[in-house]
Structure 1
Amino acid sequence: MPVSGTTKNTAYTIVASSLLAVCLAYIGWTWLMSSGNPVLTDVVLKLPLGENGFIYGVKDDRGGATVPFSYRYYVYRELTSNEQIASELKTAGPFLVTRDPAIKVDIQGSTINVSTNQEVYEYHSSTLFRHTNSNHYTPVTINLCKHSSDQPTK
């Protein structure tokens, strides 16, 4: 008995639907199992910014054995301990994410000039921070430059 066109179409539909379901299940599982928040461990930078803010640099340790560490830099209100810094900044947005644990920072009022000689993963040119125990915010401008450790000296 010959195979009809209807049977072929039904078989193709079943196979295509099954493959689509497997792909969607895999994407969903990957998304659910990926960690969204950074794993902040070591504070590598803590600089005062005016009267009410600080620049914090924190190591993100979620890279694992095959991925290098990254360092996240934030402008945030004053936090007292390294544990509080790591805890509160997990959900905050960094202005810079890089491989550089020792960026160069030059603060000029509410403008921050930052330079790095490592790879930059994320950068935002402006941010703001809320003052401690207040509803006031201070806007901050961030300028990113590349620096070289082998610049000629004069």
Structure 2
Amino acid sequence: MTLTRTHLFGFVGLVALAFALYWAKAEAQAVREKVLVLQDEVDTERRAVRTLEAELTWVERPDRLEEAATRRLGLAPITADRIATIEDIDQVAPLRVAPPAADANPIVPNTAAKPAEPAADTSKAVAVKPAPVVTVVAR
């Protein structure tokens, strides 16, 4: 029996196919192992998320927040006498500046020494006292 060129190419092709099949199987096994590792990590993270959600639910309980606000911050639940009207807010933090009184003696700068400035820039600085902070704890 003599080996011809066709037999030789067929044998080399068969060996190449066997090697490619082995390589593909090894790659598939490596990917499968990587997927299993990633699934374990996902499961671990999901358990951690569930634990954190449970802790957050416990921390955000309304009765616990109310108790902490009362004990540590000295806050109290809102009552009807603590509700402010628009006029009350306007007295604490006015939106408009009241015009100066007629008997007030404003200080007039010496305008003769300075050149006349355009009247378009008439912005005025307004000083407003800071309003007290009101914190409301409600259910």
TM-score normalised by the shorter chain: which range applies?
A: 0.3 to 0.5
TM-score of the superposed pair, with normalisation by structure 1: 0.32
Which protein is bigger by CA-based radius of gyration?
2
Q: Of the two structures, which has the highest relative contact order with CA contacts closer than 8 Å and spacing of 6 or more? A: 2
Which structure carries more strand by proportion? 1
